[in-house]
């Protein structure tokens, strides 16, 4: 009985890992895929790009602004999605020493439209402190032919 159970389990495992048979194309030819070289683009938040250091007041305004992706000819690209991370500073009391310590927490999300949703804007703006960061990454954009490609990340550091 043990042998039969092991044999059945073995056969099921083999079937689960078996690769499906490859189907030939209808006319038997392979269609080449055209290579796509994405354009060189820049990511802007306000007038900032790449890594920028801003004041608290500027950061509070930037949270409400949309990301903008452009190329060297000022063509604007549509954003498909992006991730946003907010590195927030907090002060906690160390239970062992009784001293106050600065710690950072991270809040992040995946978004499909810009600017950030109103609830995110409301929760972040007005409470930004020195040392915090706003980071937009994995920015995916579409060109006019709806081909997707990555745009550069942008990090805002609050001084």
pLDDT value of position 10: 61
More confident residue, 22 or 69: 69
**31-84 pLDDT, tens digit each:** 777 888 999 999 999 999 999 999 999 999 999 999 999 999 999 999 999 999
Count CB neighbours of 68 within 10 A: 17
Residue 63, SS3 per DSSP? coil
> If we measure between CA atoms, which residue out of 92, 99, 100, 85 comes closest to residue 132?
85
Sign of the four-CA dihedral 104, 105, 110, 112 = negative
Task: State both tokens at 59.
Answer: 């950061």
Question: Distance between CA atoms of 110 and 77, rounded to whole angstroms?
Answer: 18
> If we measure between CA atoms, which residue out of 53, 72, 74, 75 comes closest to residue 62?
53
Q: Read off the pTM.
A: 0.76
Is residue 87 within 8 A of residue 102, CB to CB? The reply is: no
Task: State both tokens at 53.
Answer: 């250091």
Residue 8 confidence class, pLDDT cut points 50, 70, 90: low
Task: State both tokens at 67.
Answer: 């990301």
DSSP 158: E
- Biggest CA-to-CA distance, the chain: 76
Please report, for the chain, the start and end positions of each structural domain, with discontinuous segments joined by +: 39-158
What are the backbone angles phi and psi of residue 154, rounded to the nearest 5°?
Answer: -140, 130
């Amino acid at each position: 009985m043990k042998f039969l159970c092991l044999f059945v389990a073995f056969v099921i495992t083999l079937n689960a890992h078996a690769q499906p048979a490859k189907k030939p194309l209808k006319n038997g030819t392979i269609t080449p895929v055209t290579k796509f070289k994405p354009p060189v683009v820049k990511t802007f938040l306000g007038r900032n790009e790449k890594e920028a250091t801003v004041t608290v007041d500027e950061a509070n305004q930037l949270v409400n602004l949309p990301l903008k992706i452009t190329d060297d000819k000022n063509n604007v690209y549509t954003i498909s999605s992006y991730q946003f991370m907010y590195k927030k500073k907090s002060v906690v009391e160390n239970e062992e020493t009784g001293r106050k310590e600065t710690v950072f927490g991270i809040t992040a999300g995946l978004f499909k439209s810009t600017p950030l949703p109103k609830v995110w804007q409301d929760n972040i703006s007005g409470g930004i402190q020195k040392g915090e960061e706003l980071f937009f990454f994995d920015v995916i954009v579409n060109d006019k032919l709806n081909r997707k490609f990555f745009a550069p990340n942008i990090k805002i550091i609050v001084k």
